[in-house]
Amino acid sequence: MRNLFQIVSGLCYLSSQQIVHRDLAARNCLVRGETVAETRRDRDAVLDMSALSKLPAICYATVQISDFGMSRRLYGQMDYYRMQNHALLPVRWLPPEAINESKFSTSSDIWALGVTIWEVFSYGEVPFAELNNFEVVSCAVAGVRPPRPKSCPLGIYELMQRCWAVHPDDRIRPEEVLLDPCLTTSLNEFIGAFPT
């Protein structure tokens, strides 16, 4: 949950800077892990090695959104970017308006966030892996969404569904995702499990 919280925080920042990523996916989220022992060693150089060896090896991870090659800044009053050329696009992460009209916005990044969350809970599976790209496009336009992963709590899947609303204006905003009770409750439980 902490990892998802960091991805959503990154998306909030991009939105605040009027940047549309256009390629948000698990493959573009970098993870750096360290254990509690490493963290405390960095923070407190006077900690002796005997105390260090008794600390639990709990892993902390820092997640950052990467690969800004397709990103675009929105200027002025524009709340979307319309792609002019026919570049290769990651159709399994694209909403209907990006597929049909080449229209990208924070709302299209939110759609991709929903797919990214799905990837996390499906342990890295590719969405609609059994379908070709043309079939995936047909599914997106027809309202077919990836099924709930077995390990995914119902509240998180409902959050994904809010990311996948057909109309961009009906999708949840990045700040709302950050404050969603299913994400914040799980994060607080996660944080509470660690020693202070």
**DSSP H or E stretch at residue 99:** helix 96-101
Token code pair at residue 8 = 């959503």
Q: In the chain, what is the straight-line distance between the N-terminal and C-terminal CA atoms, in Å?
A: 19
Residue 65 near residue 45, CB atoms below 8 Å: no
Q: Which of 23, 48, 67, 180 is catalytic?
A: 23
| Closest to 153 in 3D by CA, of 104, 191, 117 | 117
Q: Which residues are bridge partners to 72 per DSSP?
A: 20
- Residue 109: active-site member: no
Residue 152 near residue 121, CB atoms below 8 Å: yes
CA 143 from centre of chain: 21
CA 90 from centre of chain: 15
| Closest to 100 in 3D by CA, of 89, 115, 112, 116 | 89
CA 180 from centre of chain: 14
Beta pairing, strands 59-65 & 29-35: antiparallel
Catalytic residues: 23
